[in-house]
Amino acid sequence: MSSTVVTMPKSTIAQAAPPSTSSRLTSLDVFRGMTIAAMILVNNSGDGVHTYWPLEHAKWNGWTPTDLIFPFFLFIVGVSMVFSFASRSARGQTRNHLLLHTLKRSAIIFALGLFLYAYPRFDIHSARIPGVLQRIAIVYLIASVLVLFTGRITRAVITAALLIGYWLLLTRVPVPGVGAGVLTMDGNLVGYIDRSLIYNHLWIAHRFDPEGILSTLPSIATCLLGVFSGEWMRSTKTSIEKLAGLFAVAAISILGGEIWNVWFPINKMIWTSSYVLFTAGLAMFVFGLCYWAVDVRGWKRWSVPFLIFGVNPLGIYFLASFAETALHRHHIHGESIKNILYDNLFSWISDPYIASLCWSISFVLVFLAVAWLMYRKQIFIRV
């Protein structure tokens, strides 16, 4: 996954922990691991047809639990950034050093995303350019620059400008041949810009990409809301004060997203501003629950599988995504390896929805085993 692999002496699972600082939040690792596990689960449907609705994205407007996963991860990127930069600064790294590290990390993550979509044909004329890792890389880079070189008030103004400006762009700027404010898949400004610039490189060929160019702007706001949450959690407030503040802002953000939904529908595919507020509020709420359970109450045994995922997040996500891609795109006698495995292992289950779910859960368990071996051997992949 990256250019650096951190190894430490072997120890028991109870003793195992990644390289840390005194201010590290175990609950943040757990929350991150929950998100990674959920990503692997929803990305690996058995037959791709018989999937329970919570494990599918909303077709357009609205949301399902699956639509919460990616914004949760970008929110976590923002929270983690605060703790990471503070730790590195305490070790004597300057802002310029941090910026160089950020540039390198973003470039590697973006390149890995391109690799996943190009593999194995590597056709530069049709390979998808946008993607999950690509968006993470861009958002991480821009948010990092803002954290390193601007103050909190400036970042708050930028966050508001991103959300309001994006709303105005999508509702006021006319799309040629369609008009302004048409928020359908084919009529919105996001899709029009992507078709104009990267027509041959979209998720839905020649039509639309949920990780498109313009919709990256509000996703930066998602990450910045995570930054504000991270700064709050690093403050000198008591645990109760931190929880109270986090839950209060979560409630306001969720309510704000629901109200804005009346005029600007909650929509993951075009990452609407109402979607940003709504999902960031839910992320704060879940983060708060994890913090209360793990760091305040000390209830950690239940969280070990998620902690194992959470300390090697991008590495495990990349390996799982590569495995999914390889199983789909490599064939034996004209049949994909994925279909061969699925038919032989799960076709005996009479209910196709349960069979499909069993495949998804099995995929998560396989990579939990991989993550556990890395955790057990104290191997932590760092970009």
Over residues 304-342, the pLDDT tens digits come to: 999 999 999 989 999 999 999 999 999 998 899 999 999
This prediction has a pTM of: 0.92
DSSP conformation letters of 363-376:
HHHHHHHHHHHHHH
pLDDT of residue 24: 74
**pLDDT, tens digit, 9 for 90 and up, residues 3-51:** 444 444 333 333 344 443 445 799 999 999 999 999 999 999 888 889 9
**pLDDT, tens digit, 9 for 90 and up, residues 272-289:** 999 999 999 999 999 999
How far is residue 284's CA from residue 353's CA, in Å, rounded to a whole number? 32
The structure tokens 């400008």 sit at 161
Alpha helices by DSSP H, listed for 12-68, are 26-42
Percent of the chain exceeding pLDDT 70 equals 94
pLDDT of residue 329: 92
Decide if 10 contacts 378 (C-beta within 8 A): yes
Token digits for 299?
């209830």
How far is residue 108's CA from residue 111's CA, in Å, rounded to a whole number? 5
Residue 380 has pLDDT above 90, yes or no: no
What mean pLDDT value characterizes the chain? Answer: 91
Token digits for 121?
């044909």
Determine how many CB atoms are found less than 10 A away from the CB of residue 138: 20
Average pLDDT of the residues in 131-158: 97
How far is residue 296's CA from residue 136's CA, in Å, rounded to a whole number? 30
**pLDDT, tens digit, 9 for 90 and up, residues 205-246:** 889 999 999 999 999 999 999 999 999 999 999 999 999 999
Percent of the chain exceeding pLDDT 90 equals 85
Residue 303 has pLDDT above 50, yes or no: yes
pLDDT of residue 23: 59
Alpha helices by DSSP H, listed for the chain, are 26-42, 69-90, 95-118, 132-149, 152-172, 189-197, 216-233, 239-260, 273-290, 304-310, 313-329, 337-346, 352-376
Long-range contacts of 314-317 (CB under 8 A, 24+ apart): 314/1, 314/2, 314/109, 314/133, 314/136, 314/381, 314/383, 315/1, 315/2, 315/374, 315/381, 316/36, 316/40, 316/367, 316/370, 316/371, 317/36, 317/39, 317/40, 317/133
